[in-house]
């Protein structure tokens, strides 16, 4: 227990009293009288055995017990005697050391910083506002320079007519080791959470670098092209303006990517709007056309209609399509032969579907299980984030991104999502990968 409101002993003095001799109760035999019971020989063996069992149980569980007489201010308590040999002649087998102290002496051993917390809980029980308390506090254990953490539980067993408690009993355990373990566990958890935060920051930074590299490269190429067109003896102003328009579009895309990375976690549906999927796809093709031309790759865009109105986050949808098309171009470039990429768009009921197919070497069987994992790449200069981020964006739309076919000369990725408010971004698209 912690601080208790009771009579105080003189400062610096400790009350030392002999341990009270336990008085065995008289047992009246069934059908007999108290006089007959007094005359009959008493068998205290079972009672003594029970007390020994209780003593052994308390020692093995490292639990102390206490009995506080609030009226007299005395606390009768028992603590484990540790390695002391048991005394079979003692009522409890010698497993416990019973003591009696003043409540004031007990309270004096409580850490002063803990009294403002523990005292109100004890007062509430004494005054009748509560029936029990459970407190954790520090107290001296004999060595005045050492504090141990204790956990004490108490419950009222009797009250006066006024409602004030007259007797409170309870248990106490040394909690230092447990609290130290909990503190160490919290420190480990905090370190783990910090590692997760740092990893998340690193992933976001890597993802941002990965996603910005293409529009920035495209911007530089088109601005340089505009410079060359304007430096001719007969400047091609129209051609330069078209190149600059493409550069501006790439910069706008980069700005949109940066805005999205400032909000990596947001409520589903935030940023959704209605847009034309064909326009997004054609813009991706225009941006990647220089890369495709350099790799001798042709890109076809096929749509089921002239316009394909869908709903979603246009920046994220564009990033997914751009990643898939860029991966297809790079795969064909590594193969060292001309190739073709097909971008097939269609609306199937409430679903928008985008397929990116190429005639490249395919996806090896041992790569497929880890294809969408972060930082897993087969390219020498790759970051391994393109497909991982693309799948994250697809799932943020309640959709999916899967490898539909990975055979040589026929590699197909499918990106589909619920593209109308009726289905909503919270509706998941399930399918076999």
Q: What is the pLDDT of residues 92-107, one digit of tens each?
A: 555 566 778 888 887 8
Q: Is residue 368 part of a domain?
A: yes
Q: Is residue 2 part of a domain?
A: no
Q: Is residue 188 part of a domain?
A: no
Domain boundary among 122, 141, 174: 174
pLDDT 10s digits, 159-197 = 999 999 999 999 888 888 888 888 887 777 677 666 655
**% of the chain beyond a pLDDT of 90:** 18
Q: What is the band of 35 on the pLDDT scale with cuts at 50, 70, 90?
A: very low
The helix/strand/coil state of 240 is helix
User: What pTM, to 2 d.p., does this model score?
Assistant: 0.44
Shared domain for 288 and 256, answered yes or no, is no
Shared domain for 335 and 416, answered yes or no, is yes
Q: Is residue 16 part of a domain?
A: no
Q: What is the band of 52 on the pLDDT scale with cuts at 50, 70, 90?
A: low
The helix/strand/coil state of 282 is helix
- Per DSSP bridges, beta strands 351-358 and 339-348 are antiparallel
Interatomic CA distance for residues 384 and 251, integer angstroms: 24
**% of the chain beyond a pLDDT of 70:** 67
Shared domain for 380 and 245, answered yes or no, is no
Task: Look up the CATH number of the domain holding residue 390.
Answer: 3.30.565.10
Q: How many domains does the chain have?
A: 3
Shared domain for 283 and 155, answered yes or no, is no
Shared domain for 259 and 381, answered yes or no, is no
Domain boundary among 245, 265, 285: 265
Q: What is the pLDDT of residue 139?
A: 84
Q: At residue 319, does pLDDT exceed 80?
A: yes
- Domain range for 407 is 274-433
Q: At residue 127, does pLDDT exceed 50?
A: yes
Sheet holding 410-418, edge to edge: 297-303, 339-348, 351-358, 410-418, 400-407
Q: What is the pLDDT of residue 34?
A: 44
Segment 125-144 shows an average pLDDT of 85
Shared domain for 259 and 310, answered yes or no, is no
Q: How far is CA 193 from CA 218, 302, 403, in A?
A: 38, 46, 33
Shared domain for 113 and 144, answered yes or no, is yes
Cα–chain center distance at 275: 36
Q: Is residue 25 part of a domain?
A: no
Backbone angles phi, psi at 110, to 5 degrees: -85, 140
Q: At residue 82, does pLDDT exceed 70?
A: no
Q: Is residue 235 part of a domain?
A: yes
Domain boundary among 244, 265, 286: 265
Per the structure block, which two tokens stand in for 121?
């809980």
Q: What is the band of 123 on the pLDDT scale with cuts at 50, 70, 90?
A: very high
Shared domain for 135 and 117, answered yes or no, is yes
Shared domain for 258 and 289, answered yes or no, is no
Shared domain for 310 and 383, answered yes or no, is yes
Segment 360-371 shows an average pLDDT of 85
Shared domain for 432 and 287, answered yes or no, is yes
- In sequence order, the 6+-apart residues with CB closer than 8 A to the CB of 95 are 52, 55, 56, 58, 59, 80, 81, 86
- Mean pLDDT computed over every residue of the chain: 76
Q: What is the band of 28 on the pLDDT scale with cuts at 50, 70, 90?
A: very low
């Amino acid at each position: 227990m912690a601080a208790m409101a009771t009579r105080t002993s003189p400062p610096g003095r400790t009350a030392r009293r002999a341990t009270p001799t336990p008085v065995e109760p008289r047992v009246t035999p069934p059908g007999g009288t108290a006089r007959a019971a007094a005359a009959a020989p008493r068998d205290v063996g079972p009672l003594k055995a029970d007390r020994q069992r209780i003593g052994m149980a308390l020692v093995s569980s490292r639990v102390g017990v206490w009995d506080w007489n609030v009226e007299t201010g005395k606390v009768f308590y028992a603590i484990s005697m540790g390695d002391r040999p048991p005394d079979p002649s003692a009522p409890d087998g010698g497993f416990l050391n019973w003591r009696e102290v003043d409540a004031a002496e007990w309270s004096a051993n409580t850490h002063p910083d803990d009294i403002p917390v523990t005292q109100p809980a004890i007062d509430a029980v004494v005054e009748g506002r509560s029936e029990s308390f459970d407190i954790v506090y520090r107290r001296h254990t004999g060595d005045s320079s050492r504090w141990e953490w204790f956990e004490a539980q108490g419950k009222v067993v009797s009250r006066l007519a006024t409602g004030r408690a007259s007797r409170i009993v309870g248990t106490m355990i040394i909690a230092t080791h447990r609290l130290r373990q909990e503190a160490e566990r919290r420190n480990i958890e905090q370190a783990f959470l910090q590692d997760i935060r740092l990893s998340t920051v690193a992933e976001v930074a890597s993802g941002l670098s990965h996603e910005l590299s293409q529009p920035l490269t495209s911007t530089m190429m088109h601005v340089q092209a505009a410079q060359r067109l304007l430096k001719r003896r007969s400047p091609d102003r129209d051609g330069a303006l078209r190149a600059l328009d493409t550069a501006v579009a790439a910069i706008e895309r980069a700005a949109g990517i940066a805005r999205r990375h400032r909000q990596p976690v947001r409520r589903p549906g935030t940023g959704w709007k209605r847009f034309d999927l064909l326009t997004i796809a054609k813009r991706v093709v225009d941006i990647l056309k220089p890369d495709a031309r350099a790799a001798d790759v042709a890109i076809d865009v096929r749509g089921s209609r002239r316009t394909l109105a869908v709903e979603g986050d246009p920046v994220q949808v564009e990033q997914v399509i751009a990643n898939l098309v860029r991966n297809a171009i790079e795969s064909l470039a590594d193969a060292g032969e001309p190739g073709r990429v097909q971008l097939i768009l269609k609306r199937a009921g409430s679903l928008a579907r985008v397929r990116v197919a190429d005639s490249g070497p395919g996806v090896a069987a041992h790569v497929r299980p880890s294809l969408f994992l972060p930082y897993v790449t087969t390219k020498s200069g790759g970051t391994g984030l393109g497909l991982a981020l693309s799948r994250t964006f697809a799932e943020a739309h309640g959709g999916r991104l899967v490898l539909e076919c990975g055979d040589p000369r026929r590699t197909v990725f499918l990106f589909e999502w619920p593209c109308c408010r009726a289905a909503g971004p919270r509706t998941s698209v399930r399918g076999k990968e």
